[in-house]
Amino acid sequence: MLTDASILFQIAGIGIIVALIHTILKQMDKEEYAQFATLVGFIIVLVIVVNGLSDLFQQIRSVFLFQG
Amino acid sequence: MDIIQIVIIGIIASILYIILKDLKGPFAFLIVLITGITIFIVVINQIGSIIQMIESLGQKASIDGMYIDTILKIIGIAYITELGANITKDAGLGAVASKIELAGKIFILLLALPIITAVIETIFNFLPST
């Protein structure tokens, strides 16, 4: 499921867009909204990454016989 | 040719990392993390077939299953420990990385304990007991 580079582009795209939103909101003197947008973007990416991490640990567990 | 795929993933990740590093936020580090995970998952699918071969060889040589299980678990712990330690070190936490490595070593030693005990008992059986 994770064996292609599309997830990389996904995360990079989210990062660039969030940085853009941050900059625009900062220019509009809405500092707290800017921080909030960054936080939400970070959480979205974190969910993707943690999904991948759990996938990896599951694979390792099934390959190296950690069940028994 | 999976190796080409992995190399291309690495190159793309470096480019994206350089782009994201200048922007604010923690996304550059998450790029590094997800790259490590992706490459690891590609590799671990191949490791599965190697391990099946090792197990069938062990069954042909009628080795006790416990020993091969222990070795495979040790290899798994080593892989996970290295992944965690490298990522932690990349994030700039060298002290935590060395603690993770220490924990990995101790757990490996813990798993190897029955084998070490078996070896020592065999050596004691060689000694002439009076």
Task: Tell me what pLDDT residue B107 has.
Answer: 93
Domain ranges of chain A: 6-63
Question: Which ipTM was obtained for this model?
Answer: 0.74
B residues 53-82 closer than 8 Å to A (CB): 69, 72-73, 75-76, 79-80
| Cβ contacts of A24 on chain B, cutoff 8 Å | none
Residue A26, pLDDT > 60, answer yes
Q: DSSP string covering B42-105, please?
A: HHHHHHHHHHHHHHHHHHHTT--HHHHHHHHHHHHHHHHHHHHHHHHHHTT-HHHHHHHHHHHH
Segment among A19-28, B43-52, B102-111 with least mean pLDDT: B43-52
Residue A65, pLDDT > 70, answer no
| Cβ contacts of B26 on chain A, cutoff 8 Å | 42
Q: How confident is the model at residue B130 (pLDDT cuts 50, 70, 90)?
A: low
A18 close to B (CB below 8 A): yes
Residue A49, pLDDT > 90, answer no
Cα–Cα distance between B22 and B24 in angstroms, integer?
Answer: 7
A residues 25-44 closer than 8 Å to B (CB): 38, 41-42
Taking only the tens place, the pLDDT of each residue in B73-108 is 888 889 889 989 998 998 889 999 999 999 999 999
**For B10-36, what is the mean pLDDT?**
84
